[in-house]
Amino acid sequence: MSDKKESLNFIEQIIAEDIENGKHSGRVHTRFPPEPNGYLHIGHAKSICLNFGVAEDFNGLTNLRFDDTNPVTESTEYVDSIKEDVKWLGFDWGDREYYSSDYFDKFYEYAIKLIKDGLAYVDDSTSEEIASMKGTPTKPGADSPYRNRSVEENLSLFEGMKAGQYEEGSKVLRAKIDMSSPNMLMRDPVIYRIKFAHHHRTGDKWCIYPMYDFAHGQSDSIEEITHSLCTLEFENHRPLYNWFIEKLEIFPSRQIEFARLNLSYTIVSKRKLLQLVNEGIVSGWDDPRMPTIRGMRRRGYTPKSIRNFAERVGIAKRDNIIDVGLLEFMVREDLNKVTNRMMAVLDPIKVVITNYDKGEEFMESVNNPEDESAGVRQIPFSGELYIDSDDFMEEPPKKYFRLKPGGMVRLKNAYIIQCEDVIKDSEGKVTQLNCVYFPDSKSGEDTSGLKVKGTIHWVSANHAKEAEARIYDRLFMDESPDTHKEKSFLDFVNPNSLQIINKIFVEPALYNYSVGDSVQFLRKGYFCVDKDSTKDKMVFNQTVGLRDSWAKMNKN
RNA sequence: UGACCCAUGGUGUAACGGUAGCACUGCAGAUUUUGGUUCUGCCUGUCAAGGUUCGAAUCCUUGUGGGUCAACCA
């Protein structure tokens, strides 16, 4: 193991045992097998981290394999995005990029073998007929009238299917197992269907395509995958997975199932995510509110924070709902260590320092108190500033440490000021504060002897640049939006999940940042530069707010 | 009412027959020129009932609760 871990999850335990027993000569080989019909999301990240992580820990390898057996929903657009996302997360599959479709010839041979062994037959029944003969979970199914065709007839029919002699839907190839099995999947599952569809890799070569159960496990075997890790909903498939290995006499990969990730206030379902995109509820797959890898990247999540998250949530078999707060904790933890602290005012009030007569000066600021190597910078200061509106209250509650009439506050990295005058417009809204500053209270050389409880951020009005901020809230208002029997997840969409602030003021140095860069807006939160930024107007996405014990205290 | 799977604080996850631990959350305090960070302390848990055992979260039985399965999707 790369790191000494105090305990192994159940999959690691199985692998450790297998190695100890010399199974597959101690070799470990996993695979990440996405279907290229959608973008990767946080749930996939868990699987990616598991598969690549476990292989790395046991000196094994991981393949990237596209499970592309259904040409009507799959495309290279998705292939490209998946590769990009896996790479971005920090994993490397080397030259082991595979496609189930690469094995179509092999699968066809496997099917022929099954037919020859009397273990598969061509069925002319309609899909409705097959469904009705399937029985129900509590009632056994009935044999198809075509079940006992001869090997020769099946062979020629199946060849005819391959040759395109039959219409789509008119025939399927089925495994001949047991129509009364208590496991529905063993009731003569369909393994090949006719589809006159163009495949993103094999083009028009095939008009028959294998089903998942006749492709996934077989691909595992061909690649000599030792441990095939998948989610719980495939548990019932395992007997079938093993049946094919036994009957086909191929490499015995072992399927092990773990519980998929569920995140509170979030949906993690490709189909439903697609719906959010198609219905325009979000701006696209990379909308920063989406739990997709691209969405999270645009939001400002780091690969490391996602990997740490995947590690923290653990691997087990029980259903779970992870508190989205844990994800937020992980990104704060990472960003805290690596981002510079910069000043930005999101909702400005003007502060005029009436006794400031120096014109301007520059204040030195540490870039990141958690990382000395980040250095220092100079911030322009002047007699006209902006501060954030919630850093002033005319009638503050007890324990309010910020600015109030007659009160004093420290301007971060600058002087202590005292509020002398509150100027309001005709509606009574505070528009300007007239203050005085104490020249001998300058940060780093303070001889004033003044003690203040609060320190607030600011920007110099004449030096600040305008920018846009996008503040995000959870996309759903229900903890588990897609588990309600009577209601659609769309009923729980949060109408206020995106708040755009058109005009914020940021210190000029922020205009040196590039798309994707992360920064902490002091006392506000972590933000990252959005791709919509222009050189005249930058756009900042709020990744996550800072913990705010003042806000929390006032809620109660 | 068939088969398979699961059950440990609010949420996750450990403990592999021998002191129920860790993380998040929550609460209290210390430090702090970010009401951030950091540090300290605290609260809360083995689904139930039987059985095996000197000893059970762990093994057995029976319940209870939850999940998955009836696409020519994966």
Reported as a single tens digit per residue, the pLDDT across A328-365 is 999 999 999 999 999 999 999 999 999 999 999 999 99
Average pLDDT on A362-369 reads: 98
The per-residue pLDDT for range A146-179, each reduced to its tens digit, is 999 999 999 999 999 999 999 999 999 999 999 9
Q: Please report which confidence band the pLDDT of residue A486 belongs to, taking 50, 70 and 90 as the band edges.
A: confident
The per-residue pLDDT for range A81-103, each reduced to its tens digit, is 999 999 999 999 999 999 999 99
What is the DSSP secondary-structure string of A1-60?
Answer: --S--S---HHHHHHHHHHHTTGGGG--EEEE---SSS--BHHHHHHHHHHHHHHHHTT-
All domains in chain A, ordered by first residue: 2-258 (3.40.50.620), 270-340+467-555 (2.40.240.10), 344-457 (2.40.240.10)
Nearest nucleotide over every DNA/RNA strand to the A446 CA, judged by C1': B33
- pLDDT at residue A44, as a whole number: 98
Q: Please report which confidence band the pLDDT of residue A24 belongs to, taking 50, 70 and 90 as the band edges.
A: very high
How big is chain A, counted in residues? 556
Q: A397 exposed, middle or buried (CB, 10 Å; 0-12, 13-18, 19+)?
A: exposed
A260 touches strand B (CB under 7 A): no
Q: Which residue is nearest to nucleotide B7 (CA to C1')?
A: A318
Contact indicator for A389, A350 with CB cutoff of 8 Å? no
Spacing of A400 CA from B50 C1' in Å: 60
A204 touches strand B (CB under 7 A): no
Other C-beta atoms lying within 10 Å of the C-beta of residue A287: 20
Spacing of A290 CA from B9 C1' in Å: 31
Nearest nucleotide over every DNA/RNA strand to the A547 CA, judged by C1': B36
Average pLDDT on A419-436 reads: 96
Amino acid type, A367: N
- Which residue shows structure tokens 């499970």? A67
Q: Please report which confidence band the pLDDT of residue A22 belongs to, taking 50, 70 and 90 as the band edges.
A: very high
A70 touches strand B (CB under 7 A): yes
- pLDDT at residue A553, as a whole number: 86
Query: Which of A247, A131, A109 has its CA nearest to residue A187?
Result: A131
Range 308-337, chain A: CB under 7 Å to any strand B atom? 312-323, 325-326, 329, 332-333, 336
Report how far residue A265's alpha carbon sits from residue A322's, in angstroms, rounded to the nearest whole number: 10
Q: Which residue is nearest to nucleotide B74 (CA to C1')?
A: A212
Nearest nucleotide over every DNA/RNA strand to the A214 CA, judged by C1': B74
Mean pLDDT taken over chain A = 96
The per-residue pLDDT for range A219-254, each reduced to its tens digit, is 999 999 999 999 999 999 999 999 999 999 999 999
Share of chain A above pLDDT 90, in %: 97
- pLDDT at residue A125, as a whole number: 98
Report how far residue A86's alpha carbon sits from residue A512's, in angstroms, rounded to the nearest whole number: 29
A26 touches strand B (CB under 7 A): no
DSSP state of A103: G
Does A2 score more than 60 pLDDT? Answer: no
Report how far residue A350's alpha carbon sits from residue A445's, in angstroms, rounded to the nearest whole number: 26
Report how far residue A193's alpha carbon sits from residue A211's, in angstroms, rounded to the nearest whole number: 7
A59 touches strand B (CB under 7 A): no
ipTM: 0.97
Query: Which of A458, A18, A530 has its CA nearest to residue A8?
Result: A18
Other C-beta atoms lying within 10 Å of the C-beta of residue A80: 11
A185 touches strand B (CB under 7 A): yes
Q: Please report which confidence band the pLDDT of residue A556 belongs to, taking 50, 70 and 90 as the band edges.
A: low
- pLDDT at residue A5, as a whole number: 61
